[in-house]
Amino acid sequence: MTAATPAPLLEVRDLHVEFRTRDGIAKAVNGVNYRVAEGETLAVLGESGSGKSVTAQAVMGILDMPPGRITGGEIVFQGRDLLQLREDERQKVRGREMAMIFQDALSALNPVLSVGEQLGEMFVVHRGMSRKDAKNKAVELMDRVRIPAARERVGQFPHQFSGGMRQRIMIAMALALEPSLIIADEPTTALDVTVQAQVMDLLAELRRELDMGLILITHDLGVVADVADKIAVMYAGRIVESAPVHDIYKAPAHPYTKGLLESIPRLDQKGQELYAIKGLPPNLVRIPPGCAFHPRCPLARDVCRTDVPPLYDVPDGRGSACHFWQEALHG
Amino acid sequence: MAEAILEVRGLHKHYPLTRGVVFRKQVGAVRAVDGVDLDLVAGETLGIVGESGCGKSTLAKLLVQLERPTAGVIRYKGEDITKLSGRALKAVRRNIQMVFQDPYTSLNPRMTVGDIIGEPYEIHPEVAPRGSRRQKVQDLLHVVGLNPEYINRYPHQFSGGQRQRIGIARGLALQPEIIVADEPVSALDVSVQAQVINLLDKLQQDFSLSYVFIAHDLSIVRHISDRVGVMYLGRIVETGKDAEIYDHPTHPYTQALLSAVPVPDPTAREHRERVLLSGDVPSPANIPSGCRFRTRCWKARERCATEVPLLAVPAVFRGEESPAAHDSACHFAEAKRVVPAEGA
């Protein structure tokens, strides 16, 4: 456990992001707040369209604008609001201070450059190193992420590596300049389970070694349980529940989290019928009024259809955006 | 065991690798399916798990005869369907239908839902006379939990989960006995996944279907299957009842696979033993000699490089009544619990 809240490394305050689409304005992020301390792992959990990746892209400053637009909020990183920085200042933060690992390594890497050139580029651009030194650095990094025969493979191209090895290269690239924050967006979703385990272990170990903050974006409740310190669950562009990792699995305080936990089959037990959250995630152009989850919620009452629930304080430093969190927690 | 509705023996599918354009010659083969034996009993669900490239999707295509095998037999009610063609094959296919993985690419975007679900009736008009088809399609929509009024809509007007329901309705149209489902829920969000799994469960009971359920997600396979086969590089390496495989695995690959699955329970991370495999799966064009898993196995010895282990109850457990006594293709099989018991 980390000591009582030191100054956070990153604090996202009331972030709003919209996208212009053919059907109207899609409200992808609607007032997200989260903080990550140094050396802490925050898992952001959500289904597709929950806004988990968009939030991360806004933090990294790689949101496609247009059609995207940040309509409000602050992203305070090491004491500075990133949204107030000029693009060239932002550029310096990216890569050096925070880096991102993407889901699909094959499309995130440049197919016509060798992996050595791509890894070395970090050092040439940010550190002004010579090509030769940069190449040595690249080999060093590949060793560090345990790619066998790094010196021989440094000149190879991304397609010559397997999926797991490519994801290691992505990790190496993110770690190159030893940033203080890593954002990993579904880093193992495209990988097989045995390879996923190798990659997650590596990521967790390097994070510990370098004492970095990590934001892990995922839809997989299993991966979260393995590595996270705390969790933020997102639904329709909002955080609906936040808590230390142990508490949320033991006693979720939001009916959506509860539904998610009950709807996954377990490896260690054979259940009868699975609990299924009824209905579908909302269309972001027409988010339901009041609590966005109310059409699918077993606890929904009149107030849920009209009043947007704030993130209520739940004992032990948790939060739940449900008018009836007590019922969800104890019921 | 009850009689098998589908028996597979020594099934192989090799794709030739050729070199040269004019003087084309075969220089090797991708052995996608390389000697699979399995039985499907009427009314049960047989789960097949494996990682990408293990040949599980090729196996699915062979079972519905979308691909013809290089060798081996598939007997449906005693009749070898790999030798059938023309009318006889068509008659068998009616009884063995498939549900595909990707609900975005397996539905024709230019056809209405009614046409998609009703298309099987064009091929097998004896199942539904022309006049009754619309009604049949609407009944099917109702069965899979969609509004029958959506019959004239197009696939893009539906969400992923709804599209998968359309794919399932199409699979049910001919009232088959067997459904081969290849990763039917892996493209869906967690909350929607549960809905589709429950639907598959319900349909099995209502129509007494037999399923071959192919997936990479071990938790889902356990939930839905009565028996499970674990596939590695074109072969089934271990098979048994779900509790035998999950609670008493004896093949090292199964043990590694199970121990790698993240369990949604943070208390488990302290006292859970991880078996981490080194390296990647070898190419199916170049399968190791002897035991195909030996290159990644921590138990491998000389014998493993020379002698192919057979899929049978290992000698150490033979004659025992223990749940570890099930088929496992390993010379040095031993029982090892890798998934902690519930509440442990």
How far, rounded to the nearest angstrom, does the alpha carbon of residue B39 sit from its chain's CA centroid?
12
Q: Which pLDDT score is estimated for B267?
A: 77
Q: Which among A194, A196, A267 has the least Cβ separation from residue B222? A: A267
The Cα A190–Cα A174 span in angstroms is 18
Q: Which pLDDT score is estimated for B344?
A: 40
Contacts of B265 in chain A (CB under 8 A): 225, 249
Laid out side by side, the sheet with B4-19 consists of B25-41, B4-19, B71-76, B79-80
The residues facing A68 across adjacent strands are A19
B210, containing H or E segment: strand B210-215
The domain locations on chain A are: 111-178
pLDDT tens-digit series, residues B274-291: 787 877 788 888 889 999
Q: Which of B326, B325, B251 is nearest to B293 (CA)?
A: B251
Tokens 């090799």 correspond to B14
CB pairs under 8 A between A and B: 134
Check: CB of residue A301 under 8 Å from CB of residue A316: no
Structure tokens at A24: 């109207």
Please compute the mean of the pLDDT values over residues A258-287 and round it to a whole number. 82
DSSP class of residue B312? B
Please state the φ and ψ torsions of residue B39, each to the nearest 5 degrees.
Answer: -125, 140
CATH of domain B1-95+176-191+206-225: 3.40.50.300
Distances in Å between the alpha carbon of B131 and those of A186, B120, B128, B142, B149? 50, 15, 8, 19, 18
How far, rounded to the nearest angstrom, does the alpha carbon of residue B66 sit from its chain's CA centroid?
15
Contacts of B246 in chain A (CB under 8 A): 267-268
Q: Indicate if the pLDDT at residue B8 is higher than 60.
A: yes
Q: Which of B219, B268, B194 is nearest to A270 (CA)?
A: B219
With an 8 Å Cβ cutoff, is B233 touching chain A? no
Higher pLDDT, B299 or B320: B299
The residues facing A18 across adjacent strands are A27, A69
CB atoms within 10 A of CB A330: 8
pLDDT tens-digit series, residues B105-164: 889 999 999 999 999 999 998 888 888 899 999 999 998 888 888 899 999 888 888 888
With an 8 Å Cβ cutoff, is A251 touching chain B? no
With an 8 Å Cβ cutoff, is A194 touching chain B? yes
Check: CB of residue A328 under 8 Å from CB of residue A255: yes
> How are the residues of chain A apportioned to helix, strand and coil, as percentages rounded to the nearest 5?
35, 25, 40
Percent of residues, chain B, with pLDDT higher than 90: 50
Instruction: Inspect the interface and report whether the beta carbons of B261 and A222 lie closer than 8 Å.
Output: yes
Q: Which among A47, A193, A200 has the least Cβ separation from residue B257? A: A193
Burial of B29-51, coded b for 16+ CB within 10 Å and e otherwise, reads: bbbbbbbbbbbbbeebbbbbbbb
Q: Chain B: give the shortest CA distance to residue A326, in Å.
A: 22
pLDDT tens-digit series, residues B173-206: 999 999 999 988 887 888 888 888 999 999 999 9
pLDDT tens-digit series, residues A215-256: 999 888 888 888 889 999 999 999 999 999 888 888 899 999
Check: CB of residue B129 under 8 Å from CB of residue B149: no
pLDDT band at B308 (very low <50, low <70, confident <90, very high): very high
Q: Which among B52, B219, B266 has the least Cβ separation from residue A267? A: B219
The Cα A74–Cα A5 span in angstroms is 20
Q: Which pLDDT score is estimated for A66?
A: 82
Higher pLDDT, A47 or A268: A47
Look over chain A and give the mean of its residue pLDDT values, rounded to a whole number: 88
The domain locations on chain B are: 1-95+176-191+206-225, 250-339
User: What's the complex ipTM?
Assistant: 0.75
| CB contact set of A80 (below 8 Å; sequence gap of 6+) | none
Please compute the mean of the pLDDT values over residues A27-37 and round it to a whole number. 92
Q: Which pLDDT score is estimated for A5?
A: 53
Contacts of B342 in chain A (CB under 8 A): 268-269
How far, rounded to the nearest angstrom, does the alpha carbon of residue A304 sit from its chain's CA centroid?
28
Q: Which pLDDT score is estimated for B260?
A: 85
Instruction: Inspect the interface and report whether the beta carbons of B190 and A221 lie closer than 8 Å.
Output: yes
Q: Which pLDDT score is estimated for A274?
A: 83
pLDDT tens-digit series, residues A181-201: 999 998 887 778 888 888 888
Please compute the mean of the pLDDT values over residues A5-17 and round it to a whole number. 85
Contacts of A260 in chain B (CB under 8 A): 190-191
Look over chain B and give the mean of its residue pLDDT values, rounded to a whole number: 88
